[in-house]
Amino acid sequence: MKNNDEASFKGIIVTISDYKNELKKRLLIILAVAIIFSLIGFGFSKLQEDRYNAVISFIVEDQSGGPNLSALSGMANMIGIDMGGSATSSFNQQNIIELLKSRKIIERTLNNTCKIEGKSDLLINHYIRINNLITDSSTINLSSHYYNDSITRIVWFRIIDGDMDILYQNDEANILNLSFESLNAELAKNFTEIVIDEMSEMYIDHQTEKSRNTLNNLYNRSDSIFNDLKISERNFAKVKDNNMRVMTASGRLEELQYMREVEILQSVYLELRKNIELAHMGVLNETPLIQIVDKPVLPLKNINRSNLFWIVIFTFLGVFTICFIIILRKLVRNALEEDF
């Protein structure tokens, strides 16, 4: 058994040596293929268009609640104004990642106007031009709603599928990095900044909507009470003037009634004005923030691989391919010789 193992091991050594000699004999072919593939790699690297990556870092304030406006005043509830309660937020960190990729946010971003390469235009038009999505724009009806909807959908898919990525900066911090790759550095920078602005605006509108509605209701109710108060004060003044000439029991009663109405309306109006100020402070306190940590700064770094990288990759690929072919040829030749 030991002799058989030694014979097998020697056979393996002989086979390896045989294939090594075969490769040595074909060394010039291997070198020629390596040179050819390295030139192909160099040419491939030159054909690659420059790509730029803009990264913006931000922190989302996870708003889980705000001031309890229902406790501001009992008078607001008495007149039918709901001051609201604790707010819950659907805009946590995970949802922000998905919402930034939503068609609504991307579409709002693309419909912003910005200047790229000295030309001011919609961001979507810059994207189409830079990425050559339309080769002959003269055949396209730019005013067509169908065209706008279709091209926006195509651009949105391209952006979320390959251009844009959102990741946590690290496992311990809540900082998010939004990166955007483009053939144009200005486009990449503008897109990252505008998309965060659009998300921030949507975030603020969503979080403060109830408080803003309450504030608007308080303003409307306050204006209505103030108008009623002016009418009552005018009527009170007229009755009082009449009673100065002829004092009657009915005139005195009417004067007391208007005076009481004026006092009540004054009290309600003053309470409403207090609640308006408190509600206004509540809106300010509930206004959330998407805090920018770092913005992309021009000039952006070209993220394409270096010429050397592609030369090494293609050279390795060429050498591996030719060596595999040489060994395969020898295997086939040896098999044929054994058959005969």
Asked whether residue 125 falls in the same domain as residue 94, the answer is: yes
Q: What are phi and psi of 323, to 5 degrees?
A: -65, -40
CA distance 232 to 268: 13
In a domain, 122, yes or no: yes
Mean pLDDT across 34-58: 88
272, two tokens: 């409403």
pLDDT higher than 50, residue 138: no
Segment 206-211 mean pLDDT = 70
| Nearest alpha carbon to residue 119 among 139, 127, 138, 52 | 127
Per-residue pLDDT, 2 = 52
Report the pLDDT value the prediction gives residue 267, as an integer from 0 to 100: 87
Angle between helices 2-25 and 27-47 (to 10 degrees): 60
What percentage of residues in the chain have a pLDDT greater than 90? 20
Task: Give residue 319's pLDDT.
Answer: 92
Burial environment of residue 228 by CB neighbours within 10 A (0 to 12, 13 to 18, 19 or more): middle
Q: Which of 110-114, 163-167, 248-252, 289-293 has the lowest mean pLDDT?
A: 248-252
**What whole-number distance in Å separates Cα of residue 58 and Cα of residue 109?**
17
Look at residue 189 and tell me if it is in a domain: yes
Residues of 307-317 as b/e, b for ≥16 C-beta within 10 angstroms?
A: eeebbebbbeb
What's the pLDDT at 75? 43
3-state helix, strand, coil in the chain (%, to 5): 70, 10, 20
Question: Which tokens in the block code for residue 217?
Answer: 């209701």
The whole-chain average pLDDT of the chain stands at 78
Residues 138 and 170 in one domain: yes
Residues 192 and 165: beta-carbon distance below 8 Å: no
Same domain flag for 230 and 314: no
* 300 assigned to some structural domain: no
Statement to judge: residues 309 and 206 lie in one domain: no
Q: Specify if 125 maps to a domain.
A: yes
What is the 8-class DSSP label of residue 171? S
CA distance 54 to 164: 10
Q: Are residues 123 and 216 in the same domain?
A: yes
Q: Is residue 253 part of a domain?
A: yes
Most confident of 158-167, 213-222, 245-254: 158-167
Does the pLDDT value for residue 201 go beyond 80? yes
Share of the chain above pLDDT 70, in %: 76
Q: Dmax of the chain from CA atoms?
A: 144
Residues 204 and 88 in one domain: yes
The predicted pLDDT at position 66 comes to 44
132 and 17 housed in the same domain: no
Residue 299 lies in a domain: no
Q: Which residues contact 265 (CB under 8 A, 6 or more apart)?
A: 225, 228, 229, 232
Q: Looking at the structure, do residues 238 and 109 belong to the same domain, yes or no?
A: yes
Of residues 162, 194, 156, the one with CA closest to residue 56: 194
- List the helix and strand counts (H, then E) for the chain: 10, 6
Task: Identify the pLDDT of residue 261.
Answer: 85
| Domain span at 333 | 2-47+305-339
Q: Is residue 153 part of a domain?
A: yes
**Higher per-residue confidence, 119 vs 257:** 119
Mean pLDDT of 207-235: 80
- Please indicate, yes or no, whether residues 274 and 173 belong to a single structural domain of this protein: yes
For residues 4 and 54, which has the higher predicted lDDT (pLDDT)? Answer: 54
Are 39 and 89 in a shared domain? no
- The stretch 160-182 carries a mean pLDDT of 85
pLDDT number for residue 139? 47
What is the total count of domains within the chain?
Answer: 2
Range with the lowest mean pLDDT among 54-68, 156-170, 233-247?
Answer: 54-68
Lowest mean pLDDT among 26-30, 64-68, 130-134: 64-68
Structural domain contains residue 12: yes
**Same domain flag for 159 and 216:** yes
- Shared domain for 9 and 149, answered yes or no, is no
Q: Across 86-90, 181-185, 267-271, which has the greatest mean pLDDT?
A: 181-185
Identify the residue with better confidence: 179 or 12. 179
pLDDT for 49-88, tens place per residue?
888 999 999 887 655 444 444 444 444 444 444 444 444 4
